[in-house]
Homo-oligomer: A and B are copies of this chain.
Amino acid sequence: MILGSLLLISTSKIHGTGYLDHAEGEIRDFVSGVKSLLFVPYALADRDGYADMARERFARMNLSCSSIHRSANARKAVGMAEAIFIGGGNTFRLLKTLYDEGLVEPIRERVKAGMRYMGASAGSNVAGPTIRTTNDMPIVQPPSFDALGLFPYQINPHYIDPDPNSTHMGETREERLLQYLEENETPVIGLREGSMLRMENGTITLKGSRTARIFQRGKAPWELEAGSKVEL
């Protein structure tokens, strides 16, 4: 069985709503019984502003939320956390900082031992085997593209369908993910904005109201229904 309890959110916001509003119901269900969260703001440059926003948002769910960048010892903070939430931003910056701070192994171990893990966008990306399906710009170079490996499939957050009216010649998201499959075997879940993945007791479920687009070698991309178990 794959160990760990995860809630992986495609985007921190959907259009026209506030920070994490669309995911509040799923978050409340996921952290029921939890009193405090350790927040990881490394994906954005303004860590203080990001931490304050998260603290205010989770206070409205009766959760206390301390940011890892304010702790004297980041590894110790992971060791003592009740649950962890890794926020979105730039995936390369996030993963590089996790390596620089020596946090990849401690987070992996704690989650496998039962600490609940939530991620949004870049924070969902780094839960997978690698960051090879991020949409982000490689603004810094992490020592490896290997990520936490808590979730068995690659995630492409903010998955977006091709715009039939576009005259832009850059690759569509689907074209990019098909290029990924030319080089890699692990399947990819194209997670549209508003969708989430919940992993519990080795079972993965697609949450939210939208289908997800699945990319597997040797198959045409296909749509997984909302509410389905994910077995690829």
Q: Which residues of A contact B (CB under 8 A)?
A: 11-16, 45, 89-90, 93, 131-141, 144-145, 158, 160, 167-171, 176-177, 179-180, 182-184, 193
Contact = CB atoms under 8 A, between A and B. Distances in A.
Contacts of A11: 169-170
Nearest to A158: B170
Given A45-B182, A158-B168, A145 B136 contact: no
A170 B14 CA distance: 10
Copies of chain A in the complex: 2
B169 A93 contact: no
Contact of A138 (B134, B140, B160, B168): B134
A167 to B, nearest CB: 4
Given A132-B138, A136-B171, A139-B179, 20 more contacts: A13-B169, A15-B167, A16-B167, A45-B182, A93-B179, A93-B183, A131-B138, A132-B139, A132-B141, A135-B170, A136-B176, A137-B179, A139-B176, A139-B182, A139-B184, A140-B183, A158-B170, A160-B170, A168-B193, A169-B193
